[in-house]
Amino acid sequence: MFKALTTFFTTALTVTGLAVAMTACAEAEDHAKYAEGTHYQLLEKPVAVNDPSKVEVREFFFYGCPHCYDAEPIVEDWLKTKPDQVDFVRTPVLFIKGGEPLARAFYVAEAKGLSDKIHKPLFDAIHKHREPLFTVPALATFYKQYGMSNEEFNELYSSFGVSVKTRQADTLSREYKITGVPAFGVNGKYLVLRGNLKNDMETFKVIDFLVEKERKLLAK
């Protein structure tokens, strides 16, 4: 009986030890695969997030950017499978020529609850159909097909709420030290270094890695 118990506990300890060792190996492999300074950068100063109870993934983009347009299908696929605990936020940048009109147009759509309806078509209009939607009159005309008159568009475009959101977006891009798009920040702590990655698919593998790191911290 004693020998059987000894064998049982020895086996249990061995299995537990193997599980711990395998976990440690997996974590070491992840660390080797996605390393700080190579695949992602830890921000010197944390940036505020919208919802501290979730892990925020923030995309910085410009509607006129072809790389942002190419990345959009991958973004959409990732959104279908992302954990519920992830808060995905899109943020237009203003430092590119023509950025402000399109950034304000983004927040006009958000104010009207039309973001999901307008986001992809606006990308398609610029890149697929070659429509020069870089001015206020051109954007106002584009928004007519979504039930907005020129007067309503112009009023929202210049509104206090849209102006505040636009300034906040510009501030966020500065705080994250964004110099190109698309760019992705994770939970106000990390910036994915896309220049060192193979493609957009790998970008989201790094994002998933960082999200999991932050989810573990939230769970503690």
pLDDT tens for each residue of 15-24 = 444 444 444 4
Q: What mean pLDDT comes out for the span 168-185? A: 97
- Find all residues with CB under 8 Å of 125, minimum gap 6, and list them: 131, 133, 142
pLDDT for the residue numbered 23: 45
pLDDT > 90: percent of the chain: 80
Convert 107-138 to b/e letters by CB count within 10 Å (16 or more is b): bbbbebeeeeebbeebbebbbeeeeebbebee
pLDDT for the residue numbered 11: 52
Residue 178 predicted with pLDDT over 90: yes
pLDDT for the residue numbered 200: 86
| Burial class of residue 27 (count of CB atoms within 10 Å of its CB; 0-12, 13-18, 19+) | exposed
> What's the whole-model pTM score?
0.84
Q: What mean pLDDT comes out for the span 185-201? A: 92
Tokens for 19, please give them.
């599980």
Residue 128 predicted with pLDDT over 90: yes
The pairing of strands 86-92 and 55-61 is parallel
